[in-house]
Amino acid sequence: MRVRVWAILLIVMILGVCGAGAVYWDGYWLPGKPCRPIRYPTGETIGETLTDPESVDTPHPFEEVTRFYESRLPIGQPGSQTKPWERELVSKSMIRYSCYAADINGMTAETGCITVNKVSAGTRIVTMLLRGEGASPPCPS
């Protein structure tokens, strides 16, 4: 009877170590994700990987949407560790917010991309969350 209990405990421990190793290796569930984009107007953080752009049209003015992102995203200078989001003025009617950060495992990285574009009916917001191994994949142009 004691041998069975020890065998079961050993199997559970091995499965636990393998599961923890898989979580660490993949990096998706690790803490410290500063590059997860947020959705307008709820401010909800996007948790899933969006390899295809998520496009949302809103009737709200371009200036209102950009104010929302300016107040919610930690925007800093390129390469800043404390404020990882960067703001790029693509044109008078288009702003791109991007964030590049490595996971704490040092093997995986995430890229957050939010493009705000003035359109005739209001504003178009295109959001992406990209993951990569090693270097951070760049936001598409």
pLDDT values of the chain reduced to their tens digit, one per residue, 141 residues = 666 777 677 777 777 676 555 555 555 555 567 788 999 989 888 766 666 788 999 999 999 999 999 999 988 876 666 678 999 999 999 999 998 887 766 677 788 899 999 999 899 999 988 877 766 678 877
| Alpha-carbon distance values, 68 to 64, 65, 93 (Å) | 6, 5, 16
Task: Give the whole-angstrom CA distance, residue 43 versus residue 123.
Answer: 16
CB 49 within 8 A of CB 129: yes
Is the Cβ–Cβ distance between 58 and 50 less than 8 Å?
A: no
